[in-house]
Amino acid sequence: MISLADTPLPTIPRSAPPELALPVGTTLDRFILREQNAFPFATGELSQLLRDIALASKIVNREINRAGLIDVTGASGTDNVQGEAQQKLDVIANIRFIRALRNGGEVCAIISEEDDDMILTGNANGKYVVAIDPLDGSSNIDVNVSIGTIFSIYRRISPVGSDATVADFLQGGRRQVAAGYVLYGSSTILIFTTGQGVNGFTLDHSLGEYILSHATMQQLRTGSIFSCNDGNMADYPDYVQTYLHTCRQRRLTSRYIGSLVADFHRNLIKGGIYLYPPTQKTPFGKLRLLYECFPMGFIAEQAGGQASDGQQAVLDVTPTELHQRSALYVGSPVLVNELLATR
Ligand code: P6P
């Protein structure tokens, strides 16, 4: 009996294009299955949930890439719960993710930046709830700058079979079972953690598959990039202004895209710190705790980074409301600790 292991792989003819010699790589599905097998009690629901999110992101990616052609740029004429003008693509992305999560069957409820109230999916037997910012940085849509999706997943604490409750979403940042983001940039990348490190997958458009491209991501301990909206400088707490002044004195590089996902991702790879302090307009911070700060904080810590609200680790902030805001300082631990040391 000849085993496959003994069978030499067919040689690729010299005349073949070089990419034929390259293996396709690890698809998201294969990676999730491999990770699931590492959890003896995993029953596949979380795996399916992650696949549902990946599917929705591919659909949203398609619509973002065609935005200028199918008249989905510009404002929708409605405001979200934050009182911010919704862009057409905000609404479309929201519908796509809610539909995918509802049809996937694993999620019993969703909260979204785009909806005031908790959304019951009708899947009362779903074991998970999802907090999502369907399209973060949407002010950048019309100018073709990177935007993203941010998601956070909890196991429900309400009884399976009953309606989910708000308490399912207010468990606290360290009760997340998974979190991730999709960056719709020069390529489309899905980054997520289930508490076993951070991995990134790049969408291969020719296959329609996410392929492992950033395995076991590690936040650089320090860096030379700081990201904040300089226009709000006069509003920032004194210690933040002092810290930013030292950044300038040290000739660190200022980079601010205006999309949390894009600034976070660059700092994750190159090292750096992202700051969104309290301002006069947003005295409790602008970013939302449940679907921006908690997921990004989980990813940051899993990659060896640090995320604070200025007083404590952001994952330790006590959530009391679905659309609660928080300050966020996140990225290389050396830089975050330098900031906190100026308090
Ligand atoms: P500002 C986008 O609205 C967002 O939530 C983050 O993605 C981004 O970092 C920040 O707000 C930008 O806010 O006030 O600098 O335009």
The CATH number of residue 127's host domain is 3.30.540.10
CA of 137 to the centre of ligand 1 (A): 6
Average pLDDT of span 50-69: 91
Pocket of ligand 1 (CB under 6 A): 136-137, 229, 258-260, 263, 286-287
Q: Which of 229, 265, 279, 324 to mutate to test the pocket of ligand 1 (most atoms within 8 A of CB)?
A: 229
Q: At what angle do helices 45-65 and 28-37 cross, to 10 degrees?
A: 160
Which of ligand 1's atoms lies nearest the C-alpha of 259?
Answer: 7
Task: Locate 84 and state its tokens.
Answer: 């911010």
* Structural domain total, the chain: 2
Do the domain assignments include residue 10? no
At residue 289, what is the residue type?
L
CA of 291 to the centre of ligand 1 (A): 13
- Say yes or no to pLDDT of 232 above 90: yes
Q: Say yes or no: 80 and 199 in one domain.
A: yes
Determine if the pTM surpasses 0.85: yes
Q: Say yes or no: 230 and 83 in one domain.
A: no
Average pLDDT of span 139-157: 94
Do the domain assignments include residue 306? yes
Average pLDDT of span 174-184: 97
Q: Which of 255, 286, 323 to mutate to test the pocket of ligand 1 (most atoms within 8 A of CB)?
A: 286
Do the domain assignments include residue 9? no
Q: Say yes or no: 115 and 243 in one domain.
A: no
Determine which residue's CA is closest to atom 2 belonging to ligand 1. 137
CA of 139 to the centre of ligand 1 (A): 8
Instruction: Give the model's pLDDT for residue 6.
Output: 74
- Say yes or no to pLDDT of 31 above 70: yes
35-44, 185-194, 217-226, 277-286: the lowest-pLDDT one: 35-44
Q: Say yes or no: 314 and 206 in one domain.
A: no
Q: Say yes or no: 104 and 253 in one domain.
A: no
Determine which residue's CA is closest to atom 4 belonging to ligand 1. 137
Instruction: Give the model's pLDDT for residue 142.
Output: 84
29-38, 104-113, 179-188, 193-202: the lowest-pLDDT one: 29-38
Do the domain assignments include residue 7? no
Domain boundary among 180, 214, 248: 214
CA of 163 to the centre of ligand 1 (A): 33
Q: Say yes or no: 197 and 256 in one domain.
A: no
Average pLDDT of span 20-47: 80
Do the domain assignments include residue 8? no
Going by C-alpha positions, the residue among 207, 183, 198 that lies closest to residue 31 is 198
Q: Which residues of 146-170 are buried (b: 16+ CB within 10 A; e: fewer)?
A: bbbbbbbbbbbebeeeeebbbebbb
Q: Say yes or no: 44 and 126 in one domain.
A: yes
Band of residue 41 on the pLDDT scale cut at 50, 70, 90: low
d(CA 41, CA 36): 9
Domain housing 154: 25-214
36-45, 151-160, 287-296: the lowest-pLDDT one: 36-45
Task: Locate 135 and state its tokens.
Answer: 């399209």
Q: Say yes or no: 271 and 191 in one domain.
A: no
Instruction: Give the model's pLDDT for residue 4.
Output: 63
Q: How many CB atoms are closer than 10 A to CB 255?
A: 16
Q: Which of 276, 292, 323 to mutate to test the pocket of ligand 1 (most atoms within 8 A of CB)?
A: 276
Q: Say yes or no: 61 and 205 in one domain.
A: yes
Residue 322 in contact with residue 316, Cβ under 8 Å?
no
At residue 264, what is the residue type?
F
Which of ligand 1's atoms lies nearest the C-alpha of 137?
Answer: 2
- Say yes or no to pLDDT of 27 above 90: yes
pLDDT tens column, 81-125: 667 767 788 899 999 999 999 999 999 999 999 999 999 999 999
d(CA 90, CA 113): 9
At residue 200, what is the residue type?
G
Give the CATH number of the domain where residue 293 resides.
3.40.190.80
Determine which residue's CA is closest to atom 10 belonging to ligand 1. 258
Which residue would you say has higher pLDDT here, 26 or 13?
26
Beta-strand relationship, 198-204 and 188-193: antiparallel
Q: At what angle do helices 238-249 and 333-341 cross, to 10 degrees?
A: 130
Q: Which of 112, 136, 146, 281 to mutate to test the pocket of ligand 1 (most atoms within 8 A of CB)?
A: 136
- Residue 316 phi, psi dihedral angles, 5° rounding: -95, 0
Which of ligand 1's atoms lies nearest the C-alpha of 257?
Answer: 9
At residue 68, what is the residue type?
G
Which of ligand 1's atoms lies nearest the C-alpha of 228?
Answer: 15
Band of residue 77 on the pLDDT scale cut at 50, 70, 90: confident
Instruction: Give the model's pLDDT for residue 181.
Output: 98
Q: Say yes or no: 207 and 260 in one domain.
A: no
- Interacting residues of 130 by C-beta distance below 8 A, sequence separation 6+: 49, 53, 101, 107, 109, 110, 111, 151, 152, 153
Instruction: Give the model's pLDDT for residue 7.
Output: 75
Do the domain assignments include residue 281? yes
Instruction: Give the model's pLDDT for residue 11.
Output: 75
Do the domain assignments include residue 18? no
Domain boundary among 214, 247, 277: 214
Q: What percent of the chain has pLDDT above 70?
A: 92
Domain boundary among 214, 247, 282: 214
113-122, 135-144, 293-302, 331-340: the lowest-pLDDT one: 135-144
Q: Say yes or no: 279 and 252 in one domain.
A: yes
pLDDT tens column, 2-22: 666 677 777 777 777 766 666
pLDDT tens column, 243-287: 999 999 999 999 999 999 999 999 999 999 999 999 999 999 999
Going by C-alpha positions, the residue among 136, 142, 109, 127 that lies closest to residue 177 is 127
Instruction: Give the model's pLDDT for residue 183.
Output: 98
- Say yes or no to pLDDT of 174 above 90: yes
Q: Say yes or no: 57 and 200 in one domain.
A: yes
End-to-end Cα separation, the chain, in angstroms: 71
Q: What is the mean pLDDT of the chain?
A: 92
Average pLDDT of span 40-58: 88
Do the domain assignments include residue 15? no
Which residue would you say has higher pLDDT here, 271 or 42?
271
